[in-house]
A and B are shown apart, each in its own frame.
Chain A
């Protein structure tokens, strides 16, 4: 079945540095790739998403890149801040009426002061 692998499982960066989280997917028909942030004890919330017709999308300090040939996509956070500490999940799905999303296993990001 479909699978999404996410790396690393934990990541610690100095405040102000950049963080990169990578995901690979197995279903070549996947064409929607969201990223969710989950703070401790809270519900997941969408932070950015990308569709297969673009290679990169930016929103302030957050960017996502997509390489459909290699079937991988990455989340980039620049100028990290303490409030970026959370678990980040990537996901992949097909854009069809009965689609469902497969999530990666998550990356726990810690920002060191």
Chain B
């Protein structure tokens, strides 16, 4: 089991560019999450999904979009990148909501 994998590990974007952060899990988990972690701060939930075809907003969804077409994949789309989106992004999954979340290794994104 690879667990939760994320690509890329690092990325530098220019203001206004777009990109997709990839997240895949091979544990057949129903729930998947996207968080951002700003330097020295906690985790803020961006979006989550309770199963294929179902997504919902978290605390800080503005500037992001998600889709969940399969159980395994949960990509996060950034449109019109802004410096405020500079952060480390973690994807996570759990078998169902209030259970242990397994995190991916993170993507460090810088917007200049």
Contacts and interface: CB of A to CB of B under 8 A. Distances in A.
A18 to B, nearest CB: 23
A96 B50 CA distance: 11
Interface stretch (A43-51, A57-65, A66-74): A43-51
Contacts of B105: 43
B90 interface: yes
Interface of B: 33, 35, 40-45, 48, 50, 56, 58-59, 90, 96-101, 103-106
Given A36-B101, A43-B90, A103-B35, 12 more contacts: A1-B59, A31-B98, A43-B104, A46-B100, A96-B97, A97-B50, A97-B97, A100-B33, A101-B33, A104-B42, A106-B40, A106-B42
24 contacts: A1-B59, A6-B42, A34-B101, A44-B43, A44-B90, A46-B100, A49-B100, A51-B98, A89-B42, A93-B97, A96-B97, A97-B96, A97-B97, A98-B50, A98-B56, A99-B97, A99-B98, A100-B33, A101-B98, A101-B101, A103-B43, A103-B44, A104-B42, A106-B40
